[in-house]
Amino acid sequence: MIRLPEPKYDSDVSLEEILVRRRSIRDYTHEPLTLEEVSQLLWAGQGITSDWGGRTTPSAGALYPLELYVIVGDVKNLAAGLYKYKPERHELVMVLEGDTRSRLADAALGQSPVKHGAVDIVLTSVNHRTTRKYGDRGIKYVLIEIGHAAQNICLQAIAMELGSVMIGAFHDEEVSSLLKLPKEEAPLYIIPIGRQ
């Protein structure tokens, strides 16, 4: 387990400025990210914001079907590998050692941002957490929630002067295999992030 640095709860940049600057950035420098930046990005996507476990994104019935993984290629003081984010303790758990960005890029139809971002955040869902309460309607709620989480991550990246792009085109089975996902968990989004 890797305990992440405490996230920051304020910024010198207004939300309005961040919205104006929001763009998909597909080209990155080779400068590494910091552990503090990775911490902040993951917190923006699914971080705990209340004593009872509420998070940075709304969730139907507070059932939280989303999971976040980060494929680390170039982060100071963090070994390359695949990690799962545990929001309850704001920590990372290593799933697989080594840089697998190229393999993820292959699964994502060869899209270069996936290979060249310092990290790739992969958002997955465990749909039954929501459908057991809401039935088939729960699938729509999960898709709404993934949009909230992905936008939070990308807006946070902009606030930190990082580039990001949302990737939805990939082979589900290949990404699931790479991430070693259990059969009830499905990949929905890949977000490469790097310095501009």
CATH number of the domain enclosing 102 = 3.40.109.10
pLDDT of residue 22: 95
Mean of all residue pLDDT scores within the chain: 97
In a domain, 40, yes or no: yes
DSSP state of 11: -
pLDDT of residue 121: 98
**pLDDT tier at 18 (50, 70, 90 boundaries)?**
very high
In a domain, 1, yes or no: no
pLDDT of residue 158: 97
pLDDT of residue 115: 98
Contact in structure between 107 and 89 (CB atoms under 8 Å):
no
In a domain, 5, yes or no: no
pLDDT of residue 79: 97
Read off the pLDDT of residues 87-142 as tens digits, 9 standing for 90 and up.
999 999 999 999 999 999 999 999 999 999 999 999 999 999 999 999 999 999 99
pLDDT of residue 116: 98
Q: Residue 119 is inside which H or E element, if any?
A: strand 119-125
Q: What is the mean pLDDT of residues 149-165?
A: 98
Query: In the chain, how many domains are there?
Result: 1
Range of the domain at 98: 13-195
Question: In the sheet that 186-195 helps form, which strands lie side by side, from edge to edge?
Answer: 2-3, 91-97, 81-86, 66-72, 119-125, 186-195, 162-164
In a domain, 172, yes or no: yes
In a domain, 4, yes or no: no
pLDDT of residue 36: 98
Percentage of the chain beyond pLDDT 70 is 100
| C-alpha to C-alpha distance for 184 and 9, rounded to whole angstroms | 34
In a domain, 45, yes or no: yes
Contact in structure between 122 and 68 (CB atoms under 8 Å):
yes
pLDDT of residue 128: 97
In a domain, 105, yes or no: yes
| C-alpha to C-alpha distance for 4 and 71, rounded to whole angstroms | 15
For residue 128, which of 55, 182, 188, 185 has the smallest C-alpha distance?
A: 185
Contact in structure between 49 and 100 (CB atoms under 8 Å):
no
In a domain, 72, yes or no: yes
Phi/psi-derived region of residue 64, left when phi > 0, alpha when psi is between -120 and 50, beta in every other case? left
| C-alpha to C-alpha distance for 178 and 101, rounded to whole angstroms | 10
